[in-house]
Amino acid sequence: MTDDLADRLVVTLDLDTVDDKAAFMERIAGALGLPDWFGRNWDALADSLTDRTVWPPAAVGRGLLLVVRGWRRYATARPEEWDVALEVFSTVERRTPGLTVALALGGSHEGPLDLPG
């Protein structure tokens, strides 16, 4: 397993239209190709992210870079749930060599930011 991010399989988790936990779980299950028995709860997500046997096959030997984009809508709509998602991502990343989760800061599709100046 490489520590080099450039060699990892990149999977994009697109949360553009997600505004609740159920939609989040469906979206991540689809992005990662999780099995039908994936429990769609926070513990099951943590278990799946730490279990290389359910990762996309190309990631098993290379590692996985999960890029989360379009997350602001969900974070705004359900801040408590988003905090749990961030905690799961942070915890599994610390415990799982070869796994990196990155939050894309966004683009024009997410609307303008209210910046000072």
Measured torsion, CA atoms of residues 110, 66, 85, 108, in degrees rounded to the nearest 10: 0
Query: pLDDT of 1-35, one tens digit each?
Result: 556 788 999 999 999 999 999 999 999 999 999 99
Q: Does residue 110 carry a pLDDT above 50?
A: no
Q: Does residue 58 carry a pLDDT above 80?
A: yes
Q: Does residue 56 carry a pLDDT above 90?
A: yes
Q: What is the mean pLDDT of the chain?
A: 90
Q: Whole-prediction pTM value?
A: 0.86
- Say whether 102 sits in a helix, a strand or coil: strand
Distance (Å, whole) CA 102 – CA 24: 16
Transcribe 48-71 into DSSP letters. Answer: HHH-GGGS-GGGTTT-EEEEEES-
